[in-house]
Copies of this chain bind each other. A is one copy, B any other.
Amino acid sequence: MTSAGSPDLGVRSPIRAAVVTLSDKASAGLRADASGPALKGLLEGLGAVVTGPFVVPDEQSQIERTLIDLTDGGELDLILTTGGTGLAARDRTPEATGAVADRLAPGFAEAMRAASLSVTPHAMLSRATAGVRGKTLIINMPGSPKACREHFAVIAPALDHAVETLRGEAFECASPGGSA
């Protein structure tokens, strides 16, 4: 998506991202959403153009609807969700993500859990997943601002290449996950 005729110096249009916060309490106004703004700030720190955070209750059908509405416009490269990935009865973010994704991308969540395990055994409770819908990558992040910062540091170095691949800007890639 470099403008026509420009030399390819690795300059590409910024990542277009959205943040979705899943929280019954934040949605009902009973608690401020802290992790959504944290993720937005982290993405903007990478140069991304970010919409949201959109605050949605932990209701699977509403989460799915939000993800579908955001992706089907075709204007987003990346959605980060925060919240709803644990073992509590209302935690349904991974199920909603899996339901709307065309293809799963388990490596993002595996990498975040592995890194987090070196900090706390509670990391293994995370049921986070990731997947692609259309050309949008959806990644589930944890529910606290501190954990969001820690996990974002894990995925940040892979986001540019992920978006280039989804946009079709990285055809000749020979990365470990790339196709021949």
Contact = CB atoms under 8 A, between A and B. Distances in A.
A179 to B, nearest CB: 4
Integer count of this chain's copies in the complex: 3
Interface of A: 21-23, 25-26, 31, 33-36, 58, 82-95, 103-111, 113-114, 116-117, 119-128, 132, 135, 137, 142-144, 146-147, 150-151, 155, 157-158, 161-162, 165-166, 168, 170-171, 173-180
B87 A104 contact: no
User: Which of A21, A35, A173: most chain B CB closer than 10 A?
Assistant: A173
Contacts of A143: 174, 177-180
A159 to B, nearest CB: 9
A22 to B, nearest CB: 7
Contact of A105 (B82, B107, B127, B132): B127
B162 A125 contact: yes
A22 B122 contact: no
